[in-house]
């Protein structure tokens, strides 16, 4: 790798012209995810610098005025004149889309920033941006602004050329920017979102030190501060994910490998869970839909464990054949690879598609696993893995028989469904909606309220099973779960086929109380564990029924949260009446249609999986067996001092 890093190394692909006009093309959305994308573009640049051997610390500061600052102690952005653009390297990086030192292979071996569109987009979508560069003994400064109004805003305009402001012994880059409130719905950075992503980056980049400071949040006059540094890297990540589970061995399985195409790091640890949890990353980018790297690793695990089991006499010839899912039951896996020329696929571009990576990851991982388990110190983990695989195979066979019985009972089940499921007449799955409704009372109202041309109703007559604590065979034994599987038409487990989905909107519609919230949590846990593709592809929604009806004569207003109630009462004025809905069954069909089911007026919340690792931790904490962890979470996040702000009925 070349140690030289000059302006000539910055390759310019195109300018900034369209960013302000179509921000969604570059950052996906102008909502919270897009806002935070601005920050990740700058952080990614610093991570790439440090991951490639230059510097060791990144500091992210959320400023009191709403701006954000990112500082690293890398080499600093080049300040000399770019030979093609005839301006400084700093100006090129912040004004030219897809400009950077990462498109060649000399300055950055592997780059996470390649998934984004560069610091220039952060500049284009900010009110202002300033950059300080500490390089070769001097400090340099440059400012940019987005000037104008309405449709005539000029984005990321250079205020003045780069200037040298003095001598320094520091090295690195400091960027500070203010998101443009004319672009984004909200410009408030969420501390929890930033903290989770920075922790994840620290796990994925062993030894990197990341400091998070929030000047908006003061305790005794001191700003909130967190520091992330994990010398164990992915091993620490796996331990973190499993901290609320019972682990079967204290030291995770860990290996690293490298070829001309790819760098691999992988950590694995067995728990007493019944589900496999795999989290993969490419160049620090989460690949929640998996891809060729995951396929290669899983093939290597199966191949290696089968070969090792036979080599050490742990698997006999008479034993039933073990398959990959047997070995992966209860296994938490984190796989991180770094590579060039990444090709993402899938609904949300979170699936690796490079075909050349599967055999590469498979061969490298197989060799490293064989090497790891050939060490006497690791033989006990191998024996554990083989025994868990054998036990899982027996359970799998029992589940297969249970599913065969289920399939055999399909005609009976479908006849039972006739009484439960009120289907729709439409035959286009992409237009159809399935409302999973709590109880017969709400189900009756929903059936009368619906538009039967595209809306189906499935009432649940009891609470479904908590899938977090059960194997698939036990889950399938639950009548409510079987009913949902039959209604959706996709099958489950290895039989799951998303193309057979009968309803492209699966809407959980439960009461706005604790029981309703529990049913939502149980259903979401089931979908996450056994039908994750439904969530990944955006088919799962939560219906949001109103909490209150505020009325005066012919004026009616429905209120969906406690926070909205005072304003609604003020709009209605004196002499109002107020009804608090305790359940969906209290609404007549017309009210249910107007507030909750009519696509023109209802509120739906789509369930997304932007952070699979955090979702795993959350479900384990809230739905698993660790009561103390659940208490700790509730104690931290619940608002025990909430006061009702009801006004008396006039």
The answer to whether the beta carbons of residues 11 and 100 sit under 8 Å apart is yes
Distances (CA, A) of 628 to 272, 467, 617, 619, 621: 18, 20, 14, 14, 9
513, 567, 570, 598: which one is catalytic? 513
Scored b (16 or more CB within 10 A) or e, 336-373 reads bbbbbebbbebebebbbebeebbebbbbbbbebbeebb
Q: What is the CA radius of gyration of the chain?
A: 28
The tally of CA atoms less than 13 A away on the side-chain side of residue 56 is 5
Distance of CA 360 to the CA centre of its chain: 26
Kindly name the residue from 72, 326, 511, 557 that is annotated as catalytic.
511
Maximum pairwise Cα distance, the chain: 83
Quickly list H helices, 52-190.
89-95, 119-124
Contacts for 254-258: CB closer than 8 Å, 24+ residues apart: 254/372, 255/365, 255/368, 255/369, 255/371, 255/372, 256/368, 257/364, 257/365, 257/367, 257/368, 258/364
∠ CA 364-367-372, rounded to 5°: 120
Q: How far is CA 36 from CA 29, 40, 47, 51, 439, in A?
A: 10, 6, 16, 21, 40
Residue 56 appears among annotated catalytic residues: no
Look at the alpha carbons of 355, 360, 363, 369 in this order and tell me if their dihedral is positive or negative: negative
* CA–CA–CA angle 388, 392, 395 (5° rounding): 145
Question: How buried is 401 (Cβ within 10 angstroms: 0-12 exposed, 13-18 middle, 19+ buried)?
Answer: exposed
Nearest by Cα to 121 from 236, 232, 44, 216 = 44
H/E segment holding residue 240 = helix 234-241
- Pairwise CA distance, residues 470 & 184, whole Å: 43
First to last CA, the chain: 76
The two three-digit tokens of residue 629, written as one number: 């962890």
User: What would the two tokens of residue 19 be?
Assistant: 């960013």
Residues counted in the chain: 650
Active site residue 186: no
The encoded tokens of residue 126 equal: 């900010």
Q: Which of 438, 480, 557, 616 is catalytic?
A: 438
Please tell me the number of Cα atoms within 13 Å of 197 on its side-chain side.
20
Active-site residue flag, 611 = no
Angle 317-321-326 (CA atoms, 0-180°, nearest 5)?
135
Task: Supply 416's token pair.
Answer: 């039972």
Residues 211 and 199: their CA atoms lie apart, in Å, by 10
Active-site position among 495, 515, 567, 598:
515
Buried b (16+ CB within 10 A) or exposed e, 614-650: bbbbbbbbbbbebeebbeebeeeeeeeeeeeeeeeee
Q: Between the CA of residue 14 and those of 17, 19, 24, 178, what are the distances in Å?
A: 9, 11, 18, 24
Q: 438 catalytic, yes or no?
A: yes
- Residues taking part in catalysis: 438, 511, 513, 515
């Amino acid at each position: 790798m070349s140690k030289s890093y000059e302006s000539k190394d910055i390759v310019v692909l195109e300018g900034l012209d369209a960013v302000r006009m179509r921000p969604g093309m570059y950052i996906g959305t102008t909502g919270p995810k897009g806002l935070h994308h601005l920050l990740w573009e700058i952080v990614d640049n610093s991570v790439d610098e440090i991951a490639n051997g230059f510097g060791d610390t990144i500091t992210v500061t959320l400023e009191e005025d709403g701006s954000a600052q990112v500082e690293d102690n890398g080499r600093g952005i080049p300040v000399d004149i770019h030979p093609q653009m005839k301006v400084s390297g700093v100006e090129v990086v912040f004004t030219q889309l897809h400009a950077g030192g990462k498109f060649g292979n000399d300055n950055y071996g592997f780059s996470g920033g390649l998934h984004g569109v560069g610091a220039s987009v952060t500049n284009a979508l900010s009110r202002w941006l300033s950059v300080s560069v500490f390089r070769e003994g001097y400090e340099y400064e440059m400012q940019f602004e987005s000037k104008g109004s309405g449709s005539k805003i000029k984005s990321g305009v250079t205020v003045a050329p780069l200037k040298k402001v003095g001598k320094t012994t520091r090295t690195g880059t400091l960027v500070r920017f203010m998101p443009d409130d004319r672009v984004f719905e909200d410009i408030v950075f969420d501390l929890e979102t930033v903290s989770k992503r920075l922790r994840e980056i620290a796990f994925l980049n062993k030894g990197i030190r990341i400091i998070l400071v929030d000047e908006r949040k003061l305790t005794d006059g001191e700003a909130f501060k967190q520091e992330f540094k994990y010398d164990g890297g992915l091993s620490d990540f796996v331990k973190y994910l499993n901290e609320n589970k019972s682990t079967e061995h204290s030291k995770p399985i860990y290996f690293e490998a490298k070829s001309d195409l790819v760098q691999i790091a992988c950590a694995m640890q067995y728990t007493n869970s019944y589900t496999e949890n795999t989290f993969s990353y490419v160049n620090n980018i989460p690949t929640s839909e998996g891809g060729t790297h995951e396929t290669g690793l899983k093939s290597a695990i199966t191949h290696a464990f089968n070969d090792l089991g036979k080599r050490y006499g742990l698997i006999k010839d008479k034993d039933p054949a073990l398959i990959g899912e047997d070995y992966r039951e209860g296994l938490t896996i984190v796989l991180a690879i770094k590579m060039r020329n990444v090709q993402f696929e899938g609904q949300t571009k979170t699936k690796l598609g490079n075909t050349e990576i599967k055999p590469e990851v498979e061969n490298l991982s197989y060799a490293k696993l064989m090497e790891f388990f050939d060490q006497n110190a690791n033989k006990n983990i191998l024996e554990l893995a083989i025994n868990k695989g054998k036990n899982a195979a027996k359970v799998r066979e029992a589940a297969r028989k249970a599913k065969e019985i289920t399939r055999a009972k399909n005609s009976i089940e479908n006849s039972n469904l006739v009484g439960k499921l009120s289907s729709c007449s439409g035959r286009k799955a992409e237009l159809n909606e399935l409302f999973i409704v709590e109880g017969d009372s709400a189900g009756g109202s929903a059936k009368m309220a619906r538009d039967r041309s595209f809306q189906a109703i499935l009432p649940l007559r009891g609470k479904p099973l908590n899938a977090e604590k059960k194997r698939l065979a036990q889950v399938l034994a639950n009548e409510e779960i079987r009913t949902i599987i039959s209604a959706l038409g996709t099958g489950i487990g290895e039989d799951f086929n998303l193309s057979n989905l009968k309803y492209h909107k699966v809407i959980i519609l439960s009461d706005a109380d604790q029981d309703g919230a529990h049913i939502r949590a149980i259903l979401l846990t089931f979908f996450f564990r056994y039908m994750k593709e439904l969530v990944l592809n955006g088919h799962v929604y939560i219906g949001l029924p109103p909490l209150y009806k505020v009325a005066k004569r012919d004026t009616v207003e429905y209120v969906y949260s406690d926070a909205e109630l005072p304003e609604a009462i003020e709009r209605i004025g004196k002499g109002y009446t107020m009804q608090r809905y305790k359940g969906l069954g209290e609404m007549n069909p017309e009210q249910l249609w107007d507030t909750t089911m009519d696509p023109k007026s209802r509120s739906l919340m789509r369930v997304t999986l932007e952070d699979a690792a955090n979702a795993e931790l959350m479900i384990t904490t809230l739905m698993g067996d660790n009561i103390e962890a659940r208490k700790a979470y509730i104690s931290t996040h619940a608002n025990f001092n909430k006061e009702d702000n009801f006004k008396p009925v006039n």
